[in-house]
Amino acid sequence: MNLKNIDLNLLVYLDVLLRERNVTRAAESLGISQPAMSNGLRRLRELFSDPLLVRTSGGMSPTERAEGLQPKIREVVASIKKVVQPDQQFNATRANRVFRISVSDYSESTLLPHMLRRMRLEAPDVTLDILTPSDVSFQDLEQGSVDLVINRFDVLPQSFHQRPIWRDGFSCIFSRQNQIRNNFNLETYLKAGHVWVSKTGMGIGVGMEPGASQRLGWVDEALAKLGKERRIRVFTRHYEAAMRLANLRDLIVTLPSKAANRLKDDPSVIISPPPFEIPEFELTMAWSPLLQHNPAHRWMRRLIAEVAQDVD
């Protein structure tokens, strides 16, 4: 196939079609008519000798070939934008812009305060719009409407860029008035009441059930491997609330160590390693390939990485 016979606009069409999975919305996104987009899809099917998008009961679905093409097309389109856009420098001290960042409650309580202190010095007029995981979808991130997501992920779409922030283990927090303080071991841990705290991934959360150990996360999975189960009395998605509950005399909070360390100077609580092994987890920063070469975005990613290293 001779490249001179390929209309590069078709690659832009395909990128938007695979994102929207709807001819009308794709046309609106590009500011062209629906017939023009339909004609573009017809030409794309001829170019790749594949239907690319087929109509199903759930709408337009990508073929296996299209799913394989999507991250490659996204990368090509992002590279073309980099070539044709002027190479602008980002001056953080003079910048006046908003970064939209989705963070888990854990990330917000451990990383964000350090970021803000650094930004006061380097970028006093830059604003952060902090979103919760339930505010954001992978599509929002892919389209670049959200700058970054900082969270813990089991799986990320192949097209996304990502960078590890840090690794963290777990600690237990309980009141100095809790009788367990004199004999803290696995047996007494299991007899106590517990606060479960977590909110990972993206999308709207769902309610929890104490018996659903396969969905409860690292702490309960580690216990399950020992054939044990803890008595969960409170489910919360907020680390601040969980740490406040640690002051109650009959509850134990098991949560990531960097969050627990925020209470290291609180004389009313004790912070202790768990009486069993819990694997460490990794906090990750992810972003769209559309923003990979953006100077402002590169500055923000570098700042986050440097701040995280200092915290770590």
Whether residues 218 and 262 fall in one domain: yes
Whether residues 177 and 274 fall in one domain: yes
What letter would DSSP give residue 53? E
Note the pLDDT of residue 243.
87
Domain with residue 110: its CATH number is 3.40.190.10
- Structural domain count, the chain: 3
Range of the domain at 241: 170-279
What CA dihedral angle connects 198, 152, 18 and 139, to 10 degrees?
50
Answer yes or no: are the C-beta atoms of 201 and 153 closer than 8 Å: yes
Whether residues 203 and 289 fall in one domain: no
Whether residues 176 and 224 fall in one domain: yes
Note the pLDDT of residue 217.
82
Q: Is residue 92 part of a domain?
A: no
Both tokens of residue 146?
């959200």
**Closest by CA position to 159, among listed 291, 47, 55:** 291
Model confidence, pTM: 0.67
Name the region of 103 (left: φ>0; alpha: ψ -120 to 50; beta: rest). Answer: beta
Instruction: From 39, 54, 84, give the residue that closes a domain.
Output: 84
Note the pLDDT of residue 241.
87
Tell me the C-alpha distance between 114 and 107, whole Å.
Answer: 11
Whether residues 261 and 187 fall in one domain: yes
pLDDT in tens, 3-30: 666 777 888 899 999 988 999 988 888 8
Residues of the chain above pLDDT 70, percent = 90
Whether residues 181 and 270 fall in one domain: yes
Whether residues 155 and 286 fall in one domain: yes
What CA dihedral angle connects 61, 64, 67 and 69, to 10 degrees?
-130
Note the pLDDT of residue 141.
86
Tell me the C-alpha distance between 163 and 282, whole Å.
Answer: 10
The pLDDT profile of the chain, 312 residues, written as one tens digit per residue, is: 556 667 778 888 999 999 889 999 888 888 888 898 999 999 999 999 999 999 888 788 999 999 999 888 888 887 777 666 655 678 889 989 999 999 988 888 899 999 999 999 999 999 999 998 888 888 888 888 899 999 988 788 777 889 999 999 999 999 999 989 989 999 999 999 999 987 555 444 445 555 554 457 889 999 999 999 999 999 988 888 888 888 888 899 999 999 999 899 999 999 999 999 999 999 999 999 888 888 899 999 999 999 998 886
**Residues shown for the chain:** 312
Whether residues 211 and 288 fall in one domain: no
Instruction: From 62, 84, 106, give the residue that closes a domain.
Output: 84
Whether residues 109 and 162 fall in one domain: yes
Whether residues 184 and 273 fall in one domain: yes
What type of residue sits at position 169?
G
Note the pLDDT of residue 206.
47
Give start and end residues of each alpha helix (H) in 123-234. Answer: 138-143, 186-191, 218-225
